[in-house]
Structure 1
Amino acid sequence: MTPKQTQRLIKKIADIKRALAAEKRKFGGYDDSRGLRYLPTRYYLQLGDYKGGLAYTRWFAKSFPDDIGFPDFLFEWAVLLFKGSKLDMAKAKIWQTFCANTYVLDKFVGHPIQPLPKYEWSNLAQVGFTEYFSYSHQQTDLLDFSQWLEEFMASESFTTRKARYLIIYQRLLVEEDLEIRNYLRKEADQLENAIKF
């Protein structure tokens, strides 16, 4: 990356922070319907500024505690945590990424994406999102992360949880009994919120 490109990214981050601060001053809170708050993680990764990226994600978590984020944003957050040697937190963020879109991790590590009949707008999730998801296990700056991610995704704890999660959502597609649906939905919520591995 050239010094000019670096300065451009630093300016983009500063502009976003300035715009968000102006919203808070004007409205007493954030009205970020444009989704600016999701962009800095990408820029921090491009800059290789993992410390700055982690500081930003701490601010994000404090400022938007109920924001579930988008799959690419959660993925970037996981990379920042990994690069900052916060491996347990990175595992939790990888799980959140998987729950947000079950195709993203396979797309990143180069596994074939198999369409699954499930809840998540299958065509959009499989085709639309994965086409604009630009990260790859072959990126030089992500080789260490991709090796760690492959090992984590192959772990018994991840594969067991993943299998149960997918079974629940596939059952929800066909289950008509409201009591059973409620039970399955509660179990899915518990799995989504279980962040310890």
Structure 2
Amino acid sequence: MTPKQTERLLTKISNIKRTLAAEKRKFGCYDDSRGLRYLPTKYFIQLQDYKGGLTYLRWFSKNFPDDGGFPDFLFEWTIILFKCGKSKGAVKKAFETFCANTYLFDKFFGRPITPIDKWEGSNLEVPGFTDYLDYSSGQAELADFSEWLDSLTATDDFKSRCDKYIDIHRRLKMENDRETRHYLIMQARQLEETL
């Protein structure tokens, strides 16, 4: 990356922070309907400034505690945690990423994406949703992360959790009973939160 490209990315991050701060001053809270808050992680990864990305994510967590984020944002969060040596947090965020989009890891590894017959209502999955993913396992700067993620997703525990999550969503697709649906949704949430 050239110094000019680096400067451009740093300027983008600075402008986003300035815009969000102005919203907070003007409205007394953040009114980020444009989703600017999701962009800096991508820029920090491009800069390979993972510590800066982690600092930003701490700020994000503090100011948007109920914001689950989008699958690509969660994936970037996973990368940053891994690159900063926060493996326990990275494992948890990797599973959150899977829950947000069960096809994203296949896209990252260049595997064929086979649609799963499951309820998509709680996921952010739409046809072609993974087409935009800016990362792949072939990127040299992500080689260590790719190896780690491949090992993680091959573990019995991770596969078991993924299978349970998919099974719950398959059952939700066919279930019409309100109480049973509520129970299944609570099971899925519990699975997502405990790792």
Letter in 2 for 1:154: A
Instruction: Establish whether residue 95 from structure 1 lines up as the match of residue 88 from structure 2.
Output: no
Instruction: Establish whether residue 48 from structure 1 lines up as the match of residue 48 from structure 2.
Output: yes
Give the aligned partner of residue 20 of structure 1: 20
Superposed CA deviations along residues 78-102 of structure 1, whole A, max 9, x for unmatched, are 0000000000000111111111111
**What value does the CA root-mean-square deviation take over the aligned residues?**
1.2
SS in 1 for 2:68: coil
Match runs of 1:16-165 below 5 Å: 16-120=16-120, 125=125, 127-165=127-165
SS in 2 for 1:179: helix
Letter in 2 for 1:95: F
SS in 1 for 2:125: helix
The answer to whether the 8 A contact 2:100-2:125 is kept is no
Letter in 2 for 1:26: K
Count of residues in Structure 1 that have an aligned counterpart in Structure 2: 193
TM-score normalised by the chain length of structure 2: 0.95
Match runs of 1:4-19 below 5 Å: 4-19=4-19
TM-score normalised by the chain length of structure 1: 0.94
Cα drift, residue 126 of structure 1? 5.9
Partner Cα separation in structure 1 for residue 75 and residue 20 of structure 2: 22
Partner Cα separation in structure 1 for residue 182 and residue 169 of structure 2: 12
The answer to whether the 8 A contact 1:79-1:90 is kept is yes
Partner Cα separation in structure 1 for residue 126 and residue 181 of structure 2: 25
Partner Cα separation in structure 1 for residue 6 and residue 171 of structure 2: 48
SS in 1 for 2:88: helix
